[in-house]
A and B are shown apart, each in its own frame.
Chain A
Amino acid sequence: MEQRARRSMTYREKLLQADREAKAAVVGLVLTIVVWLVCGIGLSGLDVKVLGTPLWIIGGTLGTWAFSIVVAVVLGKRVFLDFDLDDDAPSSAAPTGEDGGLRG
């Protein structure tokens, strides 16, 4: 997949990409909360049971879990980009690397 290919990015581009990934993770959280609410408490009024288990228990626990896996897969395969963590593409103002630059 093209999106998974390692790209040469500047340090700034990598941090901006990390910002995008963080925002997407928060969106994933919000969607998971909605699914948790709808498939759990939202189904608790139904008198439906599977193997003696009320549907809200299955939806609120296993349903939410399954959805969170979907979120993780979408983030991992569609949102997160691969790049080199150690070497950056040249940039005039980029700070220098781990072993020769800005140390705390």
Chain B
Amino acid sequence: MGNLASIIPVVVFLIVATGLGLYARRASNGSGEGFVKEYFIGGRSLGGFVLAMTTIATYGSVSSFVGGPGQAWETGFGWVYMATVQVTALFLLYGILGKKMALISRKIGGVTVIDVIRARYNSNALAVASAAIIVLFFSATMIAQFVGGAKLFEAVTGYSYNVGLALFGIAVIVFTTIGGFRGVALTDTLCGIAMLVGIAVLAAGILNAGGGYENIMATIEANSPQLLEPFSAGAMPASLYFTQWLLVGVLTFALPQSAVRCMGFKDTKALRQAMIVGTVIIGAMMIGVTALGTLSAGVLTEDLAAYGGSVDNIIPTAIAQTLPPWLAGIAIIGPIAASISTVSSLLIAASSSIVKDFWLHRCESRGRAVPDVTIARLSQLATFVIGAVVFVLSIVPPDVIWRINMFAFGGLETAFCWTFVLGLFWRGATKEGALLSMVGGVVVYCACMAAGVTFFGMHQIVIGITVSLVLMVAGSLASSRAAMRAGKQPQPPLFEAFFPEK
């Protein structure tokens, strides 16, 4: 039987989150914006703090709170050192894509990243491929979030996996369906705060249980001195550092769920504020929570087998063993908030891919006017159905959450990095090059993942991102030359919005 005291804080949190979704819906109704612009991009109204928090909460997932710290318990401070690379995520995102996406999306009337891609390359095939890749990889990520959150819930509260899944799975689907992008941004802000509170509470529990910080460090040095080495006696090779810099550092700005946030802020001041505030918070969050994983090695001192044989059990065990039930209930709000904030952001983006980028565009290209009320109903239905499908698929959980998350990260970065970067900064990028890059890169990446093919033992992102770049450049140059020989105009109709002459 579960512990009621540990479930009450979670229930209260979910009620508040759902209330914020309802509030966002009411605010949207009175905004005077069209439904599509309001539901999928929140009327471009995000201020600096909300922009920072929604970006961080979307980026920081249950993997950051459970899988990563669990691995840090086993590997040591090398894993914390590796997690530090995430401090560059916000200034890279806002610096590289921030102003460009904001300006261009306003110019073309775009509300999704696929709107921008479609406008830049004038290619429906590329837009459809983008939508398919987004829905596919987002679904994998959402399943990992649901599973991670529900496993943690089960371990800490004593209630079953399915009770946890039902509780926050239903809540996140409902508030996302109702609140749209604005609701997601508001609940993300609440989730970001809850994540910080969860870290602080767990830190207090671990430090108290371990007899203070210095005592914990002494215990770690006595039991496992390799945890204090950067290469962890060979468990943290340089190649792993290199690939993690790519996966969770340099390339994260290309994730579509991050890029879309650059289309939703209200002014340039908000962008600057978000960059500074966000860099402070993301460091506290990612370094803090991963360090707690390593510090828990000073409290949970037995072999991994004693904790169920999976590093995913470490943080739930640390919460359950170091905190009284009511405080444990507050501590697990952090990872559950990380889970639902990522799911809600991906859910609304996946919904927009189907409704806005595929169905609505198809209607418009056939000259069929669609009333706002129909768009509203279909958008909410799509959000609900995608959420429900992911929920059902999560009932039978896969193992090792962070690997699923990293797989999806790599796939999305392979697909979108060069399509965004070269599309926005290189006049010579063409739709043929982009299509080759996106589809070819993802196919090669997935094939290498499935076959276990690596380049000198490094994560397959290295192969995926390299193939994607080569195909983009070669495809663009070849298609441009072919177009010039045929005397065709190589530039799409909206090219001027990306590279104005005057």
Contact = CB atoms under 8 A, between A and B. Distances in A.
Whether both chains belong to one complex is answered with yes
Given A22-B425, A32-B88, A104 B268 contact: no
A34 to B, nearest CB: 12
Contacts of B221: 52
Contacts of B250: 29
B502 interface: yes
Interface residues of A, number: 59
B107 A29 contact: no
A8 to B, nearest CB: 14
A19 B425 CA distance: 8
A40 to B, nearest CB: 5
B287 A62 contact: yes
B272 A83 contact: no
Interface in A69-98: 69, 71-73, 75-77, 80-86, 91-95, 97-98
A84 B270 CA distance: 12
B85 interface: yes
B303 interface: no
Interface string B69-91: 00000000100110011011011
Contacts of A29: 88, 91-92, 250
Contacts, number: 177
A33 interface: yes
Most B CB contacts (10 A, CB to CB) among A51, A84, A99, A103 go to: A103
A54 B96 CA distance: 35
B273 to A, nearest CB: 8
B500 interface: yes
Contacts of B267: 82, 84-85
A64 B87 contact: yes
Contacts of B84: 36, 40, 60-61, 64-65
Interface of B: 77, 80-81, 84-85, 87-88, 90-92, 94-100, 102-103, 106-110, 115, 118-119, 213-214, 217-218, 221, 228-230, 245, 250, 267-269, 271-273, 275-276, 278-280, 283-284, 287, 291, 425, 493-494, 496-502
Interface of A: 10-12, 14-15, 17-19, 21-22, 24-26, 28-29, 32-33, 36, 40-41, 44, 51-54, 56-57, 60-62, 64-65, 68-69, 71-73, 75-77, 80-86, 91-95, 97-99, 101-104
